[in-house]
Structure 1
Amino acid sequence: MTITLQDVQIILGLPVDGLPITGRVEQDYDALCLTQLGFPFPENNKTGGRIQIRQLSRWFPNLPNNAGDVEVQRYARAYILQLLGGTLFADKSNSLVHITYLQFLEDLEAAGQYNWGSATLADLYRQLCFAADIDGAEIAGPVILLQLWAWDRLPFFAPIMENVLRSDIIPNEDLFPPPPFGHRWRHVLKTTRTSMHVLTKYREMIDMQTLDEVI
């Protein structure tokens, strides 16, 4: 068993078909930032084409009530960029995001036509390979997908959701589209039945699992 594209689509709600996430890494970062964010690429803040996520938060704190279309789009790009760098394609710094992702956000309507799900899963596989190396001590990438998948498939790992109603997990679909399946883990979680952050205990639980304990 392994994490599949279906898991990515259901757990995170990402599209798993469409245009590939591929392009040039080396670009004119100043021009890219100016045209799509309205700010020059900060010379004192860049690391290999990456920018501090907190820098984006300072540039785009709160959207003004009288914001025009161009400003709204810039705020949207900055927000998506923070999601990409902080969640889907996070590096080990967990504080930097590569500015080259802006090339996929120039047209926000077209951005939804890209295969973000496949790119996310490919990155997770790549990061798992790095982490499985004998010298690997950390892991980056979309580890939230790995965690939620493990909680769904291996319930003896999962914490308990307390006082959760069905209406909290599945909202009124006449008013809102259904959220991704992983959204239900946002509730208060009880972890008294599982040993958290104890590697030896996790290994023991995996070794002792039976077939009927796997979903």
Structure 2
Amino acid sequence: MDVALILGLRVTGEPVVLKQDSPISVLEKEYGATIKKRSIKVASLEKRLESLKKVATEDFVRSFLLFTFGVFLFPNDNGTIDSRYLSLMEDLDRVPQFSWGSAVLEDLFNWFYKFKNDKKLTYMGSCLIFLQLWSYEHIDVARPSSLKCNLVFPRSYKWKNSSCRQREWFTPKFNELQGNQIVWKLEPTPEEAKIDIIKNLLEMQNVALEISSTSQYSTSNKDDMDGSIRDEAFRLDKQLIELDVSETDTIEDSVEVQEDNLELPSTPHYSCTNDTAGHEDCVRTKKLLEEQIAKLNKKIDKMKLKKECVLEDQVVKLNMEIDELRIENTTLKNQILSSNKLFDRMEEIVIEGTTSGTLSNVLILNEAADEYLEDQNRATPFCKSI
């Protein structure tokens, strides 16, 4: 509701999804994007707009929308915009049907998460002007005066520019903030409620409330049963997540279990007009849920068993490799000792040799060299394997 009221963007309708594996489109190539670099520089969009002379062609509309995304709605730290947004603009008549407000809010949350967890990050992207206007609407600290404007929607029209202040000024103001200085929830005015974007959102919220109110159990043990089911489902979810499975078959089983687990929230809740009907519906529902929980437990046991088998096989293989390495290590040590003895013997022959014994010494050296070469040949395959 805040995004819709402040920015005037639709928050209902088709979701904005940029598929990672989507093939590059002709439009993207026209704007200079490539398969390896699916982005467009905001500076190039600005030049493109200047060259189009503000003629309202489809090219101008797409370029203007991308430029707006890059500098206002989805700015980032490298001055580019994702070219995959063009896939949502091939049919310009569909553009107003997308939930751009939801996309802006999701992008803002993603930047919050990155900025909080990456201590080296010094730049905050996303639609920060929305965050500023949001603070004006909700918090009476450094709030500028409102403009006298005939436009009632969106609310971003009514605020003047705020005066620049240092952090030192804000800190005590927030420390002394009182409850009456905070607007906890924005409510649309009667005029705003007539705007299609707000009207559709209110209708969707009313439908959600009606569904929630009509899907409650009428029996007294409903809360206890729902609580136990939720606890059991949470326990099973946690157990599935903690299972560290690396084999393909086990991963497939995990996917099946998760798909089965997703059935739990969608289990129908029955409303009834009398205690007997309500009791029978609760019994049927409880039985169905118990069957699904039993199926989940069976899947988990199977996953555990496969995991143990995989680990046992890996341990056996590792032990075999260790034994082979030990044998090869012993062989190498023996070869090194043999080589050292050979060099010592050759040194003695050279030092102690005499003129009369030269021929015999040469023969002995040749024989020693042959032995050394044989040792080297035996060691070569092992050295290569290492």
Q: Which runs of 5+ in 2 are unaligned?
A: 184-386
Q: State the match for 1:51 in structure 2.
A: 40
User: What code does the residue aligned with 1:54 have?
Assistant: A
Q: State the match for 2:268 in structure 1.
A: none
Counterpart selection for 1:209 from 149, 165, 177: 177
Q: Is the 8 A contact 2:108 2:127 kept in 1?
A: yes
User: What code does the residue aligned with 2:122 have?
Assistant: A
Partner of 1:58, secondary structure, is helix
Deviation at 1:30, TM superposition (A): 6.5
Deviation at 1:113, TM superposition (A): 0.8
Q: State the match for 1:126 in structure 2.
A: 110
Normalised by the size of structure 2, how large is the TM-score? 0.43
Partner of 1:150, secondary structure, is helix
Q: Is the 8 A contact 1:150 1:157 kept in 2?
A: no
> In the alignment, is residue 141 of structure 1 matched against residue 126 of structure 2?
yes
Q: Is the 8 A contact 2:42 2:70 kept in 1?
A: yes
Partner of 2:81, secondary structure, is strand
Partner of 1:51, secondary structure, is strand
RMSD of the alignment, in Å? 2.6
Distance (Å, rounded) in 1 between the aligned partners of 2:116 and 2:72: 20
Q: State the match for 2:15 in structure 1.
A: 20
1:30-69, aligned counterparts within 5 Å?
Answer: 31-33=26-28, 39-41=30-32, 48-61=37-50, 63-64=52-53
1:1-215, aligned counterparts within 5 Å?
Answer: 6-29=1-24, 31-33=26-28, 39-41=30-32, 48-61=37-50, 63-64=52-53, 72-93=57-78, 95-133=79-117, 135=119, 136-161=121-146, 164-165=147-148, 169-171=149-151, 178-185=152-159, 187=160, 189=161, 191=163, 196=165, 198-215=166-183
Q: Is the 8 A contact 2:40 2:83 kept in 1?
A: yes
Per-residue CA deviation, residues 171-195 of structure 1 (Å, 9 max, x unaligned), is 4xxxxxx54111222x4x352xxx6
Per-residue CA deviation, residues 97-153 of structure 1 (Å, 9 max, x unaligned), is 111100111111111111111111111111112222361432111111111101111
Partner of 1:102, secondary structure, is helix
Distance (Å, rounded) in 2 between the aligned partners of 1:201 and 1:99: 41
Q: Aligned pair in 2 of structure 1 residues 102, 117: CA closer, same or farther (>3 Å)?
A: same
More helix by share: 2
Q: Is the 8 A contact 2:136 2:143 kept in 1?
A: yes
Q: State the match for 2:227 in structure 1.
A: none
Q: Is the 8 A contact 1:170 1:179 kept in 2?
A: no
Normalised by the size of structure 1, how large is the TM-score? 0.74
Q: Aligned pair in 2 of structure 1 residues 50, 129: CA closer, same or farther (>3 Å)?
A: same
Structure 1 stretch 23-32 or stretch 121-130: which is displaced more? 23-32
Query: Which structure is higher in RCO with an 8 Å CA cutoff and minimum separation 6?
Result: 1
Q: Is the 8 A contact 1:90 1:97 kept in 2?
A: yes
The higher radius of gyration belongs to: 2
Tell me the matched-pair count: 182
Q: Aligned pair in 2 of structure 1 residues 131, 23: CA closer, same or farther (>3 Å)?
A: closer
Partner of 1:60, secondary structure, is helix
Deviation at 1:41, TM superposition (A): 1.2
Q: Aligned pair in 2 of structure 1 residues 190, 79: CA closer, same or farther (>3 Å)?
A: closer
Deviation at 1:33, TM superposition (A): 3.0
Q: Aligned pair in 2 of structure 1 residues 52, 40: CA closer, same or farther (>3 Å)?
A: closer
Q: Which runs of 5+ in 1 are unaligned?
A: 1-5, 172-177
Q: State the match for 2:270 in structure 1.
A: none
Q: Aligned pair in 2 of structure 1 residues 138, 74: CA closer, same or farther (>3 Å)?
A: same
Partner of 2:57, secondary structure, is helix
Deviation at 1:62, TM superposition (A): 5.6
